Amino acid sequence: MAVSVFKMLGFFVGFFLIVGLVSSAKFDELFQPSWALDHFAYEGELLRLKLDNYSGAGFQSKSKYMFGKVTVQIKLVEGDSAGTVTAFYMSSEGPYHNEFDFEFLGNTTGEPYLVQTNVYVNGVGNKEQRLNLWFDPTKDFHSYSLLWNQRQVVFLVDETPIRLHTNMENKGIPFPKDQAMGVYSSIWNADDWATQGGRVKTDWSHAPFVASYKGFEIDACECPVSVAAADNAKKCSSSGEKRYWWDEPTLSELNAHQSHQLLWVKANHMVYDYCSDTARFPVTPLECLHHSHRHH
């Protein structure tokens, strides 16, 4: 009996060491402004990003990561936000980059904000989904997260999955798992497409448009710039004694509750899915065929 108790203790100690990688921190410990420093305002734990007719603003993580979870709490632009986009995303660099996007598309007062998600693999995107949220994202802070491991990429809003991108390499579909990614956010004017396909323009008399941030968390495997991609992939994967939480079997797919949540989101809140856009894709994209069969 004693042996198994020690083994269990060993497991728990190991588990907490793993969890100890979490870096939940102030903005400037994890991130730095990437442009328009004069459009940043710091108020204690809060960061505000400002868009006016001179400039938007953006920030990026100081490090790049491979696998793990990144979360930020955002309160989106209040009132008339038409034409504006606030983005939170992970991306690698280069022409064949990988990218996971949240883009929050502003709207005229009273109309719901739309959330557009997209996934790029090896430089190829065109996988947009759009949904409205089950709350007003301008009234309070909500958490937006990206969970990424070798089996799946999960987009989460307040821990509810809104999108799943599964590893289907066995079907010949490439999966993002060998490029370290930075974490980014920005606000900019995109009135050529953001609101009702570009029909509604930004009303600059309502500027500045302000997105507020807090609760920055990155619990992920940090990748030194000097290290080759293959070595990072190895370093950030569990092997032998080294166990990372994101490789645990429970995270290789959604659990039953999460699967139901995702189905609920799709049924009640999704307004656009590239998989069913036959005008753009007369031939259904391969991953769509396989994803649709995965509903338990």
- Determine whether 153 is exposed, middle or buried from the number of CB atoms within 10 Å of its CB (0-12, 13-18, 19+): buried
What does the angle CA 185 – CA 190 – CA 196 come to, to the nearest 5 degrees? 120
Please pick, among 99, 128, 241, 253, the residue that the annotation labels catalytic: 99
Could you give the CA distance from residue 11 to residue 6 in angstroms, rounded to a whole number? 8
Point out the catalytic residue in the list 45, 103, 217, 222. 103
Antiparallel, parallel or unpaired: β 84-91 and 182-189: antiparallel
Closest Cα partner for 152 from 220, 245, 247? 247
Q: Which residues of 70-97 are buried (b: 16+ CB within 10 A; e: fewer)?
A: bbbbbbbbbebbbbbbbbbbbbbeeeeb
93 in active site: no
Q: Are 136 and 130 in contact (CB under 8 A)?
A: no
217 given a catalytic annotation: no
In sequence order, the 6+-apart residues with CB closer than 8 A to the CB of 93 are 182
Q: Indicate which residues carry an active-site annotation.
A: 99, 103
